[in-house]
Chains A and B, each alone.
Chain A
Amino acid sequence: MKRKITNSLIFLFTMLLLNPSFVSAEDSLLEQVISGIVTDQDGEPLIGVNVVAENTAIGTATDYDGAFRLEVPDGTTNLVFTYTGYLEQVVEIKGQSTINVVMRTDVAILDEVVVVGYGKQKKSDITGAVSTVNVDEIQKIPTADVATALQGQAAGVNVAAATGAPGGNPVIRIRGLGTIGNNNPLFVIDGIPGDLSYINPADIESINVLRDASAATIYGARASNGVVIVTTKRGKTGAPRVSLNTYVATHSLTNNVEMANKAQYNQIMKEARENGGDDPLEYTLNDNQYADTDWADAYIKDAFEQKYDLGISGGTEEMSYFFSGGYFKNSGTVINTDFARYNARLNLDFKLLDGRLSIAPGIGYTRDNSNNIFEPTGGGNASFSPFLYAFSAIPHKEIYDVNSSNGFAEPDPGLGSGNPIGERSLETDQNQDDYLQFNLAAELKILEGLTYQFQFGYNTENTYNYYHLPAYSFGPQATVEDPYISETRARLNAWTLNNVLNYQNSFGEHNIGIMGGISREKSEFRSVGGVNRKLPSNSLEALSAGIGDEASFGFNSTSTLQSYFGRLNYNYGNKYFVQASLRRDGSSRFAADNKYGNFYSISLGWGLHHEDFFNVDFISEFKPRFSYGTLGNQNIGDHLFLARIASGGAQLNYPFGQEMRQEIVVGAINTSLPTPDIKWEETTTTNFGVDLGFMDDRWLLTFDYFTSKTEDMLVSVPVPATSGITTFPLTNGGEMENKGWELSTTYRQKKGDFRFDITANLSASKNKITKLGFADESFTEGYIEFVNFPTTRTEVGGEIGRFYIFQTDGIFQSQAEVDAHAIQPNAAPGDLKFVDTNSDGVLDDDDKVFFDSGLPKLEYGLTFNAYYKNFDLTLFFQGTQGNNMYNGMKMWLYRTDRIENVSADLVNAWSPTNTGSSIPRNVSTDPNSNIRPSDYFLEDGSYLRLRNLQIGYTLPTELVNKVAISKARIYISAYNLLTITDYSGFDPGISNSGLFTRGVDRGFYPLTKSFVVGINLGF
């Protein structure tokens, strides 16, 4: 029964699209008056439902009683009712003056129209793995970043913060890891590849994630890591509607890492130096001397965040508009950091030629202003986390000195160098980035069922970095001799041109869709920067004022892509679905012989519940799906197929000459291997899925299982240094497999004034390398101390980025125990006992063992919404299971072989009088190398987090209507309120953005906890 109605609605909808009757409003007289009440299925009046006389600009919206009154021109045959979250209703007037309408919620979501590559499809027609993100939910997350809001919202979409810094970009992975090369998905915004990080979440109408080959092949070129399709809001017919959404929030860091105070430090260090046979540090001998500074406390502050979003939309049948303006600011939880964003967007829709031609221009502008903090995320040199630097300053130093010119204290001689607060405060590292999106889409109905689609998109990203250091001296190792300035500007111009023909028709039970198109894309990057090493004054901020050595630099690279693509959809009676897609991509990134890659997919679906023989009342939908296909990846630099000669720079230049200050001569030579034959990386994916609906679709469930195999992975292959090369060549070096499953389910229930829904999604993936490099070389990464102490290893037969470290077996309690364990000759009681895992009587590299990587085995999100009368409640939980974290910060704060500050935990370190401790002894020489990478520092990074708790109250309509407000909702929210984890570091949710360094925690900027008060207004 329900199905029948929806099907007829689809039919009506399709008819409307394809057969517009050409009635024009201007020709008609206003004669007929129609009134009525619009309710939902439960008889509740719906406020603000859009009621329009079909094919005219004449419309109104329902009031707080759900009532409307509309004068319609004579000859109008239908009224169209639209309301977000509900199916469109078209009601024949047939001379009635009262029309009461029951809007049907989009409960099933099944008949939702989903934006897919180069077109739209009905959800019920889809045979691939497509996640539709509930945009309402992501808009409840207080953030300016869409990706952050996506975390835990869709099965198979794995989002993890790389850092908690304001404006920091999270790591987005679709279905885990599919390659050891670039794993970033493709973002398509309003049909044009773009940068999601610049899009205001408030502007988003829909987000769909294409996860399998069937859905994504149409973007063949860059689709192997999944495609995220985002559409922005557009105007709807009717009088101007204004929305104003705003919130304010306070953010605070939860500092769970307690540093030693002065007395504790003195105690720990005296013990460590004594155990190591070193003389005690002079300044530790008297607890009453010197300051007792809490550096961590001074480094962190509470942040204030605010966001304002204004939206205005409306229009007529011929023209509609959507305008939005937004402002966001987060004042940063670390001193001298912040992030602000300004957004504006205007989307217009014109209908010409009696509705046969639609033209839809859109323009979006974003400006980001930020005060940055450097974070050593990613692979390679572990560098030094600024958090670690601040936390490990010794308490004896003063922060401030009123007598110094910059207000900060230079450490007492003998206390070493550095004033982390001063250095952080005096450094200026600012970005001002602009992103301009210009889109023009047009659609022409050529014949019945045949449309031509044109899309042109031009995105410009301008980034500007300003870096300035005044001269200062905080001791010999923290001195800036002269004021320094560096400025860098970069511009990325990218355009896309799509021409697509679409044919769609039904012949009886046969429904056919054919799409074919061609696309061209070009991306040009230019940058320029300059440095001057000496400014005559700290207060000057122009390169031209510089009087020191200067340098300039810049890059220039262009890439193009030319593609042909086609898709065929067929279904018989909405029961049997077939879809086939094909794409041929030509890329400038490969040499002539390898430019083109061909990608294809085929998928099948069976609407079992439509079969006559299927009559299980309990099950309202049962649709198994299958897909198989190939996807490509060319996410690499430009011109890598050329045999490049490296030239210049500190690496190759060298001084010669007779003068004392020799001239520097440019060096140039081949530093890598030529890779003329590089070609497309290709992923083959198989997907089995099923869509289930129970109890009239009150309970929905979607399950997908996938396997994928990636060949010719584009990676920087490690080559032995003996080759003489210093830059690993990027080439097709490896194969891997990835498999996993995703489950998402939603249940809704309503009882009287109370209704609720609960949505859960789970995803799991597991990858395995099957071939690597030229000779199955392993990849070593995850360094903890500069380029020492690697913690991960990636090799054939295992997953990416497994931890590969020593295994410990507690702490030596006595000399007898040490003596009995001959493999650690330098050990003493209180040191860590390492396991001779291969029992060969020596402790060496062969004793390192693998531990699971930092990639979660399972990720999940759980959203619970409840509504009672005017109150609403949202609970959003999110978490991961089965991911390891290497607590590099702990290693640094537990090591007593330096003189920097240490964790307060160390007062309880093992000693002959404190043998129960789990912390190795304090010893300045660390002869046993307790700090070496071992499972002592490896922790379970699983966590469950209450990401959002929101309680809202919608003011009674009668009340707000008096002040011309149609809707007013106030809410309070707690974000990241609660985290359940065994992880002892700052934050298990901070994953590190590097592929081989996932879960390697070098002491990153943690996520913050925040409390939000917000208001949503509609006029």
Chain B
Amino acid sequence: MKKINYILLSILFLGVFSSCSDDFIEVENKEVLTEESFWQTEEHALQALTAAYAALHSASGSKWAFFEELYIAMSYRGDDIVGNTSEIYGRALTNFTNTTEESGPYNVWLASYAGIGRANQIIQRVPKMDDVDAGTRDVIVAEAKFLRALYYFWLVTGFENVPLVTTFETDPANLFPSQSTPQQIWAQIEADLKDADAALLETHEAQWTGRATKGAAKALLGKALLFQEKWGEAEVALKDVVDSDHYALLDNFADNFNGNGENGLESVFEIQFSGDRSNGNDERHPFNFEVSPYAFGGWELFYPSEWLVEEMQTDLDANGNPSERVYESIFFDDPQSDMYSLDGGGEIAYPDVATDLNHPAYFKKYAVNADENYYAGTNISLIRYADVLLMYAEALNENGKTDQAIIEVNKVRERGKAVPLATMGQEELRNQIRHHERPVELAMEFGIRWFDLYRWERGSTARESIKTTFQNHNIPFVDNFQDKHIIFPIPLQELDINDNLEQNLGW
């Protein structure tokens, strides 16, 4: 009996303890890609670049974050837009009652720095990827620099006082930057755009349409220079775009917003969207619903302001009717005005639906989409050629070349079937550009109007206070507007985790 026990015991010990090795707790990773195998091939470099572009849709890439956060934060504050007072989206921002933790500005911050972080990784890693052709590497790095500049442009014009981060850091000690001055940010933007310009392609092969081009870099540089009132340099940069053979105004104004002119002649740089839903992808945006009236199955989250509708009605064609660009921009109380109905699928005239409408006027841009898959796959323009021409005109005018400026403005007007401007003085043209041409041509477009108001507020050439403009344009909630509202607060969410940041004045 005893013997058996000992044998049993020995077997047990052998069985139990001989099997123990650390192999058991080495488990192979079968689920995620790791650094070890990445940053090797051209495909990897392009995947990284794609990710850097993806932040244009927001840090999370969600269509909701794109509209409800980025677009609202970048556009709702302008005098061209009023929010639907039944909806809470962007309510506090448009009322100028937002707190420092408002999610819209925070999402602009998140998206911009997500994009910058990805661009920084590319700028650091891609030049060292020996298996990738040097020319390809240069183009990819140039695009990363273009994107970095674009994201910094969003930041500096939104928040002004932001940290300048140009490397992707993994050491926790380096993750808590302080703010740089706006001048430093602008310098970085200019430097990046000039570097990008040097290496960017004029056009991409069909498969890669939508990536940044030389023209995009020049146009953004021109815009950045405009914001700094470097009128001379701006004129040069924008002239380069105008003189290049790559761009033209589309014959049909509406094609800029319905998908037909997507990545076309007028497109300088667009945020790409697609109705492709294969493999679980979703890269659409919901603008078609957001602008459309309830009566057309839309959500009508925002409208053209009363001032904009009135101003637009002064933009006349040769017959004294509102111009084509007006009819294609807004749906308003006019017998000729019509709009696409999501419900019916056709164009419905204003008088036929007037009594069912919840609001006097609506935006039409992006209401109808050639690439519609419930939501829209139409690109959202960041810089289109008409904007370039108007910016160029503005630079020319500030440089004293008013007559030349009028020619550029008239190109845009004529395409929109508005009668050309007659000769006018510098100041008159300035006013015309600021409070007619730009808002009428570019109404509600992503990040345009508010930031125009912002640059004229901050500028020294014929400075205009936003508050005054709002008062002149009868913008609701103007009473709530204080100087602090000229820029976003530094998001509280970020301040809370980075002691080195200081809140913007007044917030």
Tell whether, in the assembled complex, residue B61 and residue A724 are in contact, meaning their CB atoms are under 8 Å apart: no
1/0 contact trace for A543-564 toward B, CB 8 Å? 0000011111101111111101
Given known contacts A476-B298, A650-B62, A777 and B498 CB-to-CB distance under 8 angstroms: yes
Interface flag for B399 (CB, 8 Å): no
Residues on A with C-beta less than 8 A from B183 are: none
- Contact indicator A549/B277 (Cβ below 8 Å): yes
| Interface flag for B188 (CB, 8 Å) | no
A444 CA / B503 CA spacing, docked (Å): 70
Q: Which of A651-674 contact B (CB under 8 A)?
A: 651-658, 660-671, 673-674
Judge if B282 is at the interface, Cβ distance under 8 Å: yes
Interfacial chain B residues near A587, Cβ < 8 Å: 25
The answer to whether A723 and B54 touch across the interface, beta carbons within 8 angstroms, is no
Complex contact A724–B276 (CB within 8 A): no
Q: Please, which residues of chain B bring their CB within 8 A of the CB of A924?
A: 85
* Residue among A588, A642, A660, A776 with most chain B CB within 10 A: A660
Query: In chain A between 515 and 558, which residues have their CB closer than 8 angstroms to a CB of chain B?
Result: 518, 520, 522, 531, 533, 548-553, 555-558
A413 touching B207, Cβ below 8 Å: no
Give A482's nearest chain B residue, CB to CB. Answer: B374
Q: Which of A281, A558, A658 contacts B27 (CB 8 A)?
A: A558
A906 to B212, CA, bound (A): 54
Task: Tell me if A719 counts as interface (CB < 8 A to partner B).
Answer: yes
The reply to whether the CB of A185 lies closer than 8 angstroms to some CB of chain B is: no
Are the C-beta atoms of B29 and A720 separated by less than 8 Å?
Answer: no
CB–CB A670/B497 < 8 A: no
Find out whether the CB atom of B278 lies under 8 angstroms from the CB atom of A549: yes
Taking a contact as CB atoms under 8 Å apart, the answer to whether A726 and B60 are in contact is: yes
Instruction: Write out the residue numbers on chain B whose beta carbons fall within 8 Å of the beta carbon of A407.
Output: none
* A520 in complex: contacting residue of B24, B50, B377, CB < 8 Å: B24
For the complex formed, measure the closest distance between the CB of B41 and the CB atoms of chain A, giving whole angstroms. 11
Q: Give every chain A residue within 8 A of B120 (Cβ-Cβ).
A: 724
Among candidates B8, B54, B95, B276, residue contacting A925 with C-beta atoms closer than 8 Å: B95
User: In the complex, A787→B494 CA distance in Å?
Assistant: 14
Interface with A: B133-141, B172-180, B305-313, B421-429, which one?
B172-180
Q: Name the A residues within 8 Å of B352 (CB-CB).
A: none
Tell me if A658 and B117 are in contact (CB < 8 A): no
Q: Which residues of B contact A592 (CB under 8 A)?
A: 26
Nearest-CB residue, chain B, relative to A786: B103
A793 within 8 A of B: yes
Choose from B8, B118, B121, B273 the contact partner of A655 (Cβ within 8 Å). Answer: B273
CB distance from A400 to the nearest CB of B (A): 22
**Per-residue A-contact encoding for B268-282, CB less than 8 Å = 1, 0 else:** 000011111111111
Is B102 an interface residue when CB atoms closer than 8 A count as contact? yes
Instruction: Report A922-968 residues with CB < 8 Å from chain B CB.
Output: 924-929, 932
- B154-175 with Cβ < 8 A to chain A: 162-163, 165, 168-170, 172-173, 175
Q: Which of B108-116, B451-459, B462-470 contacts A (4 or more CB under 8 A)?
A: B108-116
Check B38 against A645 for contact (C-beta < 8 Å): yes
Q: Contacts A562-B20, A722-B498, A780-B492; is A652 near B165 (CB within 8 Å)?
A: no
CB distance from A726 to the nearest CB of B (A): 5
Say which residue of B63, B177, B262 sits within 8 Å of A720 (CB atoms): B177
Report chain B residues within 8 Å CB of A562.
20, 22, 24-25
Instruction: Please measure, in the bound complex, the distance between the C-alpha atom of A595 and the C-alpha atom of B503, giving whole angstroms.
Output: 43
B211 on interface, CB distance cutoff 8 Å: yes
In the complex, the chain A residue whose C-beta lies closest to that of B209 is A658
- Pairwise interchain contact B283-A656, C-beta atoms closer than 8 A: no
User: Bound state CA distance, A627 and B208, in angstroms?
Assistant: 67
Q: Is A723 within 8 A of B117, CB to CB?
A: yes
Q: What's the nearest-Cβ distance from chain B to residue A563, in Å?
A: 10
Asked if B27 and A559 sit within 8 Å, CB to CB, the answer is yes
Complex: A715 Cα to B35 Cα, angstroms: 22
B47 touches A647 (CB 8 A): yes
A398 contacts B by Cβ under 8 Å: no
Contact residues in B for A481 (Cβ distance below 8 Å): 374
Q: Contacts A476-B297, A660-B259 given: A499-B24 contact, CB under 8 Å? A: no
- Among A559, A666, A775, A844, which residue has its beta carbon within 8 angstroms of that of B50? A666
Closest B-chain residue to A281, C-beta based?
B86
- A278 within 8 Å of B by Cβ? yes
Structural contact, A639 and B29, CB atoms closer than 8 A: yes
The interface-forming segment of B9-17, B226-234, B241-249, B430-438 is: B9-17
Q: How far is the CB of B337 from chain A (nearest CB, A)?
A: 20
Taken together as a complex, chains A and B put the C-alpha atoms of A518 and B210 apart, in Å, by: 60
Question: Once the chains are docked, how many angstroms separate the CA of A645 from the CA of B174?
Answer: 21
A655-B276, A660-B259, A726-B110 known; A669-B103 Cβ under 8 A: no
A661: which B residues are within 8 A, CB to CB? 274-276, 371, 373, 377
Query: Contacting B280 at CB < 8 Å: which of A522, A551, A927?
Result: A551
Is residue A752 within 8 Å, beta carbon to beta carbon, of the partner chain?
A: no
Q: Are B54 and A663 neighbours in the complex by a CB distance under 8 Å?
A: no
CB nearest to B501 among chain A residues: A720
Q: Does A66 contact B (CB under 8 A)?
A: no
Residue interface mask A852-888, B partner, CB < 8 A = 1: 0000000000000000000000000000000000000
* A690-732 to B contact mask, C-beta < 8 Å, 1/0: 0000000000000000000000000000111111111000000
* B476 surroundings in chain A (CB, below 8 A): 277
Q: How far is the CA of A657 from the CA of B270 in the complex (A)?
A: 12
Contact string against A for B residues 321-361, beta-carbon threshold 8 Å, 1 for contact and 0 otherwise: 00000000000000000000010000000000000101000
Most buried by A among B57, B59, B87, B101: B101
- In Å, the complex CA distance between A651 and B59 comes to 7
Residues in A767-811 with C-beta less than 8 Å from chain B: 773-778, 780, 785-790, 793
Closest to A788 in B: B103
Q: Is A977 an interface residue (CB 8 A)?
A: no
Chain B residues, CB < 8 A from A560: 24-25, 27
Given contacts A655-B283, A661-B275, A666-B50, contact A499 B31 (CB under 8 A): no
Q: Are A780 and B272 in contact (CB under 8 A)?
A: no
User: A642 to B103, Cβ gap below 8 A?
Assistant: no
Q: Is A898 an interface residue (CB 8 A)?
A: yes
Chain B CB within 10 Å — which of A655, A671, A780 has the most? Answer: A655
In the complex the two chains form, is B277's CB within 8 Å of A720's CB? no
B102 and A660: CB pair below 8 A?
Answer: no
Distance from A677 Cβ to chain B, minimum over Cβ atoms (Å): 11
**In-complex Cβ contact of A533 among B272, B277, B299, B501 (8 A):** B277
Tell me, yes or no, whether B411 is within 8 Å of chain A by CB.
Answer: no
**Pairwise interchain contact A656-B371, C-beta atoms closer than 8 A:** no
Within 8 A of A (CB), among B487-507: 492-499, 501, 503, 507
CA distance A671 to B28 in the complex (A): 22
Instruction: Determine if A302 is an interface residue (Cβ-Cβ < 8 Å).
Output: no
A657 touches B16 (CB 8 A): no
Contact present for B33 and A668 (CB under 8 Å) = yes
Instruction: Report the minimal beta-carbon distance from B126 to chain A, rounded to whole angstroms.
Output: 11
Q: A452-B12, A639-B31, A845-B100 are in contact. Are A476 and B299 (CB under 8 A)?
A: yes
Given contacts A476-B298, A653-B50, A927-B480, contact A724 B165 (CB under 8 A): yes
A897 within 8 A of B: yes
Q: Is the beta-carbon distance between A551 and B276 smaller than 8 angstroms?
A: no
A477 within 8 A of B: yes
CB of B471 closer than 8 Å to a CB of A: no
**A95 beta carbon closer than 8 Å to chain B:** no
Q: Are the CB atoms of B16 and A518 closer together than 8 Å?
A: yes
Within 8 A of A (CB), among B32-71: 32-36, 38, 44, 46-48, 50-54, 56-57, 59-63
Given A417-B299, A667-B54, A775-B499: 11 more A-B contacts, CB < 8 Å: A551-B279, A588-B27, A642-B35, A645-B34, A651-B59, A670-B121, A723-B113, A724-B116, A780-B101, A898-B88, A927-B477
Q: List 27 A-B contacts (CB under 8 A).
A: A446-B8, A479-B297, A553-B280, A595-B25, A642-B34, A650-B57, A650-B60, A658-B263, A661-B276, A661-B377, A662-B272, A663-B207, A665-B47, A670-B121, A720-B497, A721-B109, A722-B113, A722-B494, A774-B176, A793-B496, A826-B479, A826-B480, A897-B85, A927-B95, A927-B97, A927-B477, A928-B97
Which 8 A-B residue pairs are closest in the complex by CB-CB distance?
A724-B117, A551-B280, A667-B51, A777-B497, A667-B50, A655-B274, A549-B277, A643-B35
